[in-house]
Amino acid sequence: MQVIAFATPAHPEWRWRIVDYAGQMVEESYAVFPTIAAAVDAGAERLVKLDTVDRSVRPNPYRRTSYLRGK
């Protein structure tokens, strides 16, 4: 799993998000942080506390597109 930090125009403060390798969100912070580094550090601490194993399956980027041909 990985920790990312994000901010939006509506909420410019930094927050962290934990995502698995399939791209699914596992957990997101409600607390805000002044810097991206502080957000990532706090998220990394939370990831250690979760102590889970990522068993997700990454989506296939080369999937078939035959379902598009009939349209």
Mind listing the domains of the chain with CATH numbers? Answer: 2-57 (3.30.160)
- DSSP H stretches of helix in the chain: 36-50, 66-69
Task: Specify whether the CB–CB gap between 33 and 42 falls below 8 A.
Answer: yes
Report pLDDT for 70: 67
Residue 39 to residue 6: CA distance in whole angstroms: 9
Question: At residue 52, does pLDDT exceed 60?
Answer: yes
Q: Percentage of the chain with pLDDT > 70? A: 90
Regarding predicted confidence, which is higher, 44 or 67? 44
Handedness of CA 24, 30, 36, 37 (dihedral sign): negative
pTM: 0.75
Q: Which helix (H) or strand (E) holds 2?
A: strand 2-6
